[in-house]
Chains A and B, each alone.
Chain A
Amino acid sequence: MDKKIFDMGPIDIAWCPGCGDYGILNAVKQTMAELEIPPERFVIVSGIGQAAKLPHYMKSNFFNGLHGRAIPPATAIKITNPDLVVIAESGDGDIYGEGGNHFLHAMRRNPDITVIVHDNMVYGLTKGQASPTSREGFKTPVQVEGVILKPFNPIAVAIANGASFVARASITDIPGTVKILKAAIQHKGFSLVDLFQPCVTFNKLNTYQWFKDNTYYLEDSYDPHNKVEAFKRALEEDKLPLGIFYVEERKTFEENNMAYEEDKTPLYKRNVDLKKLSNLIDSMRKD
């Protein structure tokens, strides 16, 4: 499939020139093309932020909801229509900050969705405040003397908390990112891709060069099925590993759900069993 099928034609894009988000847009289009998934077959669910605008810039079904709330609708969309490929895509502030509780519990539920987090270590849209992943010492108009909070470690949290696919990528390497995104979408279950994205306007600390200098790929011999090992690697901080940290085969939210136990018809196609309802009401006469 040619990734041009996702092109929107001439549109006004709200991203700064040089922003890492362009690379991500490219990588996502490339991924969907390589996986042969046309625009009608998938939904991108996003929150609010610069990252969250991505679906406006490629042909797709999309649900651009509220700040922090990409994951709950994505979960519901997938279980309503399991034939759709569902991607939740938003910023680090959106998913890890405002939406932190959903992030924690969705991975326990294990819906078959892919969560792509544009991790620029800053709040872009609101002009440069610290995000949960900002490094200590990072100065902003709010964190005037630099961030004093420990950075959130999404990879370690996800591994510890039951995510069934955990990966980190950096858009400084587009082909490498596409490879990871493909595996994430193909994984059946909750997939997290924490995706490093330089914000050229508000983050002068974590630049393209910084991401290149401070990351490396997990070696080819690395086995992503060992949870303890994965956790160890997730805690590395001097240089941040990229690649697939952890994979686990587990039943998905959709597969486990009672609603699909007796009937595989997707929810959106279902009718009410009026006969059963009558029977239920009648049974209450005897109860």
Chain B
Amino acid sequence: MKDDLSVVLCGEAGQGIQTVERFLTRVLKFDGFNVYATKEYMSRVRGGFNSTEIRVSSKNVKAFVNRIDILVTLKKGAVNHLKDRVDDHTVILGEASNVDDGYKFIEVPFTKIATEIGDRIFSNTVAVGTLSAIIGVDFKTLEKYLEEFFSRKGKDVVDKNIQAAKRGFEIGEGLVKEGKIKVEIKKDPNVKDDLLIDGASAIGLGAIAGGCNFISSYPMTPSTGILTFLAEHAKEFGIVAEQAEDEISAVNMAIGAWYAGSRAMVTTAGGGFALMVEGMSLAGMIESPLVVNLGQRPAPATGLPTRTEQGDLLFALYSGHGEFPKILLAPGTLEDAFYLTQKAFYFADKFQVPVIILSDQYLVDSYYNISNLEVPKVQPQKFIVETTKDYKRYQLVENGISPRGIPGGEGLVDVDSDEHDESGHITEDLDIRVKMVEKRLKKFDAIRAEIIPPEFIGPKDYQTLVVGWGSTYPMIREAVENVGDKKMAFLYFKQVYPIHPDAKKYLQSAKKRIIIENNATSQFGQLLKLETGIDFDKKILKYNGMPFSVEELISRLKEGR
């Protein structure tokens, strides 16, 4: 085989796929292997088919691939569930009773071995042992991991797990020896000390780094993980993490929190964001900072709750009645998820506007090893002024950004969702109305001066320019690098609104422009056209709820060339 392996585990919810995934990815990393994982699951707590892809490679990979090199089946029907991704080269491992008719497979009696050791529950560990041996893990690493993981449960549990791992490991070694599976993946000693985290944690850590000390949200996939991450660390970092009665409350709480001096965030999916839209408008009118994580999933309405999509870009862009500035960010990597979330707090506070982080199920649920997330050296800047007796919240200033005070000082801090005068009092004076509209919109100039530029990857003399945004980044990048076109470049946008002025220049210089999006109507393409006047020659779109795979992008990029 090769130096890049895709292992897929498939079974039903609650069967222990997550345990195998957890053990295996950790053991691989501790042994020095680059590892990536992403899951695909149904919206149910039991039954159905869930699968996890674990990609192990000599290189640091972060992208989803379609092919399956090794498939571990834990339930009958699993192979059929993945039939489009299974071909002759796929090695299927499992018990005969879990393999669908007509497939060649290698029988590995996970459950039988587990029962011999004392309990079916050890079958997960047997599987981890087998896979570890195939990939080339040092058994000592696996042993040490199990020891630590089960130490709290006592010696017997530790011993039995090690025994199970050993039995599985021997089977794996056998398969390699017999030449049934060949893998040659290089280790990198530096990987051992890497971080292995998912998108939800990266966003959560970014929020803490940005000074977030208040999160109010209502649970909704795929964003619940960010709420639970911050709740888990609430005591340690002094964060108020509140499950609100609904999303309307959540967003209004967050805005109230900013008013009094907190740094607040809400996290939700499209359906919850729909309820929060009044809050976007409120933040626009009272010029409140606000940070929203909008985890996109296939819609309209409830859609496919556990799948992925980039379908809410234009909804987010136009969210909130009336005209006011906002900022949209879209991380494509774990590092960006961390840095952009941090940046969202800076932008929100500095410009007194709502900032939306457009994540999605794919980004939030996938993980891989990264070398570091750099913690800022200094405290996040707070743009709050001390108030004096004559303080006016909406003082008309040159750049439209009135100094923001909080209650508790000498002055009075008055904000109003009605049109208001400089002091924050309700007014129907039409001249003041015009001044206030202009003041709010003027903030765009300051915002534009700090737009995060798109990342350009590829040859300067490119002829074809591929454009993408947000979570599709790793797949597009790997596809463009492997498509075999020396004149193809990739432009990745991590700030999708306002759009950096360089966008036009990049687009103009290309002979052929291709946009890739996980939606049906090329929303970012529409936005780029609106902003630059330039259209795309080709749109590669996917909207079945699954992320793009690298292979699929390579073949679609080649089409019609």
Contact = CB atoms under 8 A, between A and B. Distances in A.
Interface of A: 39-41, 43, 45, 48, 53, 55-56, 59-66, 68-69, 71-77, 79-81, 83-84, 101-102, 104-105, 257-263, 265-274, 276-278, 280-281, 284-285, 287
Contacts of A269: 261
25 contacts: A40-B412, A56-B425, A62-B415, A63-B286, A64-B416, A64-B426, A72-B250, A73-B255, A76-B253, A77-B257, A77-B260, A79-B240, A81-B407, A102-B248, A258-B235, A267-B260, A267-B261, A268-B408, A272-B208, A272-B379, A273-B238, A274-B375, A276-B236, A277-B375, A285-B194
Contacts of A274: 209, 375-377, 379
B252 A72 contact: yes
B237 A268 contact: no
Interface residues of B, number: 67
B107 interface: no
B375 A80 contact: no
A101 B246 contact: yes
Contacts of B216: 72, 76
A108 to B, nearest CB: 9
A73 B259 CA distance: 9
Contacts, number: 199
Given A59-B412, A75-B256, A80 B261 contact: yes
Contact of A105 (B239, B245, B254, B426): B245
B461 interface: no
B408 A84 contact: yes
B408 A81 contact: yes
B408 A40 contact: yes
A60 B412 contact: yes
A56 B426 contact: yes
Given A40-B408, A56-B426, A259-B213, A64 B415 contact: yes
Given A65-B255, A75-B256, A102 B245 contact: yes
Contact of B414 (A62, A77, A81, A287): A62
Nearest to B251: A72
A74 B216 CA distance: 13
Which residue of A41, A68, A72, A270 has the most chain B CB atoms within 10 A of its CB atom?
Answer: A72
Contact of A61 (B194, B236, B413): B413
Given A39-B412, A267-B240, A281 B195 contact: yes
B138 interface: no
Contacts of B235: 258-259, 261-262
A129 B373 CA distance: 57
B208 A76 contact: no
B409 interface: yes
Contacts of B205: 277, 280-281
Given A276-B236, A284-B197, A45 B407 contact: no
A59 B250 CA distance: 28
Contacts of B379: 271-272, 274
B417 interface: yes
B481 interface: no
Contacts of B278: 66, 69
A65 B282 contact: yes
B373 A64 contact: no
Given A72-B244, A270-B213, A285-B195, 4 more contacts: A66-B282, A76-B253, A276-B236, A280-B205
List the 5 closest A-B pairs by CB distance, nearest first.
A73-B256, A268-B261, A76-B256, A80-B260, A61-B407
